[in-house]
Amino acid sequence: MPPTQKAPPDAPYLGADREISSIPRTVLSAASLRPGSASDHASSPANHEQETGADTATGNWIYPSERMFFEAMKRKGHDPRAADMRTVVPIHNAVNERAWAEIKAWEGPWIQGTR
């Protein structure tokens, strides 16, 4: 189990299960948007967080577990309540999925060449 998956002493019951997102893991830069260029940094985090990986079958993001979310909030100076993670994490995931659906719907006509 990775270090971020150890149960926090103040929240030993937090889940370690993670959900695979429908969002492809890609990091775009201005250089990678130019025709014929490739992004060589798509697999590394853009911040100082630990690499948590992508799903090997789909290449999509993997959402954090309850434990990971709790620990990230603490690391960032918040005062999370462990009991809230069972509610917060699914909301976090649902918001991301909804935003991705909105992006795909907005970009759809351009991708299909109808605009």
Tens of pLDDT, residue by residue over 29-69, are 444 445 554 444 445 556 666 667 788 898 899 999 999 99
5 vs 15: CA distance, rounded Å: 9
Measured torsion, CA atoms of residues 86, 92, 51, 21, in degrees rounded to the nearest 10: 100
State how many domains the chain has.
1
Q: Are 52 and 44 in contact (CB under 8 A)?
A: no
Q: pLDDT higher for 56 or 93?
A: 93
Query: Averaged over 71-75, what is the pLDDT?
Result: 93
Q: What range does the domain containing 41 cover?
A: 3-111
Alpha-carbon span 32 to 30, nearest angstrom: 5
pTM given for the model: 0.69
- pLDDT value of position 6: 62
Region 61-90: what's the mean pLDDT? Answer: 95
Report d(CA 41, CA 28) in Å as an integer.
9
